[in-house]
Amino acid sequence: MTTDRSTPPRARVVPDTAVPPDETPAATCPYCERPFARERHAVLHVVEAHPDRATDAERERYEAVSDEESDDLFVYHLKVMFALGALYAAFIISAVIAFSLAG
């Protein structure tokens, strides 16, 4: 089963997102008017949600932004791995200390 991610006609006209009155979105999709807190997310959305309507310039921008997103995700994974490693080390060290005090 494939997922059709193209824009159905008359769909996504009213995005089910709400922007608080004291905030302004950084970017808005030109095709479905969905607001985004970051411009990068709007660029990703345009090509992924409206592949049939995205222009060549938007696709070029998508490639660059997609690389940035991938790099950020890699850094995030490194941070998570470091945090898990530190937590594991702290657990082992505290267990060694606890068992040495008990015995």
Per CB under 5 A, which region of 21-29, 35-43, 53-61, 77-85 contacts Zn ion?
Answer: 21-29
Is residue 53 a contact residue for Zn ion (CB under 5 A)? no
Is residue 39 a contact residue for Zn ion (CB under 5 A)? no
Is residue 31 a contact residue for Zn ion (CB under 5 A)? yes
Choose which of 25, 27, 32, 58 interacts with Zn ion (CB under 5 A). 32
- Give least dist CB 44 to Zn ion, A: 10
Choose which of 29, 43, 44, 65 interacts with Zn ion (CB under 5 A). 29
Number of helices (H), then strands (E), belonging to the chain: the values are 2, 2
- In the complex with Zn ion, the residue whose CB is nearer, 4 or 22, is 4
Long-range contacts of 44-51 (CB under 8 A, 24+ apart): 44/69, 48/5, 49/5, 49/7, 49/12, 50/6, 50/7, 51/5, 51/6
Q: How far is CA 27 from CA 15, 31, 34, 55, 92, in A?
A: 14, 12, 9, 17, 47
What does the binding site for Zn ion look like in residue numbers (CB under 5 A)? 29, 31-32, 34, 49
